[in-house]
Structure 1
Amino acid sequence: MSSGRHRVAVLVRDGVLPMELGLVHQLFGGARGPAGERLYEVRTCAVTGPGMIRTDADFPIGAPHGPEELARADTVIVPASHEEDESLTPSALPTQLARALENAAGAARLASICTGAFVLAAAGLLDGRRATTHWLSTDLFARRFPSVTVDPDVLYVDEGRILTSAGEAAGVDLCLHLIRGDHGAAVAADVARRTVVPPHREGGQAQYIQRPVTPAQSTSTGAARAWAQARLHEPLTLRQLADQASMSVRTFSRRFREETGLTPMQWLTQRRLDRARELLESTDHTVDRVATEAGFGTAASLRAHFVAGVGVAPATYRATFRGSGPPRE
């Protein structure tokens, strides 16, 4: 792997889902720095060494690297295997897989996509932690790994060094979350634009949405969302949003949750956090001004929401992703 770039290793096994492997390469491979330089190196690693790996499709893939590459990685990602995952238990982790995971022990981060969480759990890496997996497998996961706190209703769980995500699409959200944490919202948004996916869905958003694709009809809440997005700095109310969709508050709230997986106010808070991130990264505005322009009203309100949603204070976030001069409060 090239020196100076964050090293991502993807551990693939027979039965891997090609989409899950591809999305890791697509998203991390598309992350660029200010001069257009690649920010990550991504390597595909097999459990037993370089070679051909069966997929759950009608074609194999070639893994150019073996498990020793995991020892050189900064982040190790374990996608799902439909052939293996749901058979794994703490007492039935294949020896070669266990040895491969030992090579990954020094990685700064370990992450799973979909039922790849069974691998981390069977290795004891999720004991005492929160985790998630595909909603169809959460009941089995909870029974098999009682020492893990399973959250079946989220897209991904960030436990610091170890992260887990739900199905394939949630793997996109997880990768963007990691890129955002490494290099900021602007880089993650650029990757999302290149890939034509939503730039940010919070991990706490529901896995299963009744209508994941917003219907193109007058009963959609899409117009209200677009209206609100242009007015984040204003003190918007649920009644105002419902009026934009010509619905009652009750109908609008139900329809909104069906279409987005969030309540209107949760969605609004997320969009305001996105706007605050953008301002902190790209301007020299004081925190007071960022709070006003993002719609939080006061610096205290912004700090409270930012710490709850991002995990750090606004000034700390700015120092991390701008790195120039003292934070402006």
Structure 2
Amino acid sequence: MSTSRLRRVAVLVLEGAKPLDVGIPAQVFTTRASMPYEVRVCGAEPGTVTGGDGLSYAVAHGLEALAWADIVFVPGYRFPDRDDPPPSVVDALVAAHDRGARLAAISTGAFALAATGLLDGRRATTHWHYTRRLAAKYPQIQVDENVLFVDEGKVLTSAGAASGIDLCLHLLRRDLGVAASNHAARRLVAAPYRSGGQAQYVPRSVPEPLGERFAATREWALHRLDRPLTLDALAEHAAVSPRTFSRRFAEDTGYTPMQWVMRARIDLARELLERSERSVEQIAADVGLGTGSNLRLHFQRILGTTPIQYRRTFARGE
């Protein structure tokens, strides 16, 4: 792989950094044949950074890595509402943003981005335990406590550590397409895609077995996208009423059942456009949308582009 084509990722380790938050982007974007990225782990300066949970980090790079990177991840750290990042870190984050880098916070890393002022007037999230504290400390931010991640273009934030995986996969989908994102998810043994609008946690009143049953229904549906899938059929598979299924499905995924089915069909169409030479009409039949015109309609509505334009952008080997 030519290093001139690698996208550059910096993972900024602050005092008290949480190990899982640091490890997620470092592992997801690790350089390999399917992943055209180069990762550098950095700190306010090179050397040892004291982390959270009894760990420390030996970082080889300082803030110059932020001037090098296309994407800067800010992992969560302990006591974010008490300890502001050093002014040098704030200045480096602002400079990275100003020259066009994307800044992505995992969990309480949102506090470091908030200190830059770059989240003012924007939507953002963080771990549910800290959302009210983030809103109190930075009232100019529109804090959303009921989502897994928020994409504001050049500035992104996510909830607790596991949602950092969702955020990374979301960025992969934007950069490389759905096939690469799904490949990475399989490597990580993670869910291929969870909506950013999905709730951070399920209310305790929801019985766990029902959640498992709904997951099985989603898996069942994914293997039948070329066939008719109605609300009644999905609810019947889950052995609940359509009304219960609709309400609980939205809580689980952030989508209504039929919105989810449509997006699953579009995702499958995206992968077929990326990895096969099948025509738009053939792909429309493969994913249960019937005709090419129907596929084009929903593709434009959901993705803002056409199947042919999408194929030109993400087709394998281009």
TM (norm. structure 1) is: 0.85
What is the correspondence of 1:27-46 to structure 2 with a 5 Å cutoff? 27-29=28-30, 32-33=33-34, 38-46=35-43
1:276 Cα deviation from its structure 2 partner: 1.4
What is the correspondence of 1:36-115 to structure 2 with a 5 Å cutoff? 38-47=35-44, 49-83=45-79, 85-87=80-82, 94-105=86-97, 106-115=99-108
Q: Counterpart of 1:86 in 2: which secondary structure?
A: coil
What is the correspondence of 1:180-199 to structure 2 with a 5 Å cutoff? 180-199=173-192
Counterpart selection for 1:173 from 166, 169, 180: 166
1:311 Cα deviation from its structure 2 partner: 4.5
Q: 1:169 to 1:305 in 2, by over 3 A?
A: farther
Counterpart selection for 2:231 from 231, 234, 238: 238
1:26 corresponds to: 27
1:207 corresponds to: 200
Letter in 1 for 2:113: L
Is structure 2 residue 223 aligned with structure 1 residue 263? Answer: no
2:154 corresponds to: 161
Letter in 2 for 1:8: V
Following the alignment from structure 1 to structure 2, what is the Cα–Cα distance between the partners of residues 99 and 147? Answer: 19
Following the alignment from structure 2 to structure 1, what is the Cα–Cα distance between the partners of residues 221 and 279? Answer: 24
Following the alignment from structure 1 to structure 2, what is the Cα–Cα distance between the partners of residues 136 and 298? Answer: 47
Say which is worse superposed, 114-123 or 308-317, in terms of deviation: 308-317
Letter in 1 for 2:69: A
Cα contact 2:274–2:314 (8 A) shared by 1: yes
Cα offsets for 1:35-69 (capped at 9, x unmatched): xxx5111111101x111111111121111110011
1:158 Cα deviation from its structure 2 partner: 1.5
Following the alignment from structure 2 to structure 1, what is the Cα–Cα distance between the partners of residues 306 and 126? Answer: 30
Letter in 2 for 1:25: A
Cα offsets for 1:158-183 (capped at 9, x unmatched): 22222111111111011111112111
Letter in 2 for 1:73: A
How many matched pairs? 315
Following the alignment from structure 1 to structure 2, what is the Cα–Cα distance between the partners of residues 301 and 116? Answer: 42
Cα contact 2:179–2:274 (8 A) shared by 1: yes
Following the alignment from structure 2 to structure 1, what is the Cα–Cα distance between the partners of residues 155 and 94? Answer: 15
Letter in 2 for 1:9: A
1:74 Cα deviation from its structure 2 partner: 1.0
Is structure 2 residue 143 aligned with structure 1 residue 150? Answer: yes
Letter in 2 for 1:241: L
Say which is worse superposed, 309-318 or 166-175, in terms of deviation: 309-318
2:268 corresponds to: 275
Cα contact 2:67–2:95 (8 A) shared by 1: yes
Cα contact 2:198–2:252 (8 A) shared by 1: no
Q: 1:109 to 1:128 in 2, by over 3 A?
A: same
Cα contact 1:11–1:44 (8 A) shared by 2: yes
Following the alignment from structure 2 to structure 1, what is the Cα–Cα distance between the partners of residues 246 and 116? Answer: 42
Is structure 2 residue 312 aligned with structure 1 residue 319? Answer: yes
Q: Counterpart of 1:9 in 2: which secondary structure?
A: strand
Q: 1:116 to 1:71 in 2, by over 3 A?
A: same
Following the alignment from structure 1 to structure 2, what is the Cα–Cα distance between the partners of residues 98 and 56? Answer: 21
Q: 1:31 to 1:294 in 2, by over 3 A?
A: farther
Q: 1:209 to 1:216 in 2, by over 3 A?
A: closer
Cα contact 1:120–1:126 (8 A) shared by 2: yes
1:258 Cα deviation from its structure 2 partner: 5.4
Cα contact 2:73–2:106 (8 A) shared by 1: yes
Cα contact 1:131–1:157 (8 A) shared by 2: yes
Q: 1:218 to 1:104 in 2, by over 3 A?
A: closer
In structure 2, stretches of 5+ residues that fail to align are none
Question: Identical aligned pairs, as a percentage?
Answer: 48
Following the alignment from structure 2 to structure 1, what is the Cα–Cα distance between the partners of residues 211 and 154? Answer: 44
Letter in 2 for 1:61: Y
1:193 Cα deviation from its structure 2 partner: 0.9
Cα contact 1:131–1:151 (8 A) shared by 2: yes
Cα contact 1:7–1:41 (8 A) shared by 2: yes
Following the alignment from structure 1 to structure 2, what is the Cα–Cα distance between the partners of residues 293 and 274? Answer: 12
Following the alignment from structure 1 to structure 2, what is the Cα–Cα distance between the partners of residues 159 and 220? Answer: 33
Following the alignment from structure 2 to structure 1, what is the Cα–Cα distance between the partners of residues 25 and 11? Answer: 8
In structure 1, stretches of 5+ residues that fail to align are none
Letter in 2 for 1:116: G
Cα RMSD (Å): 2.8
Q: Counterpart of 1:190 in 2: which secondary structure?
A: helix
1:19 Cα deviation from its structure 2 partner: 0.4
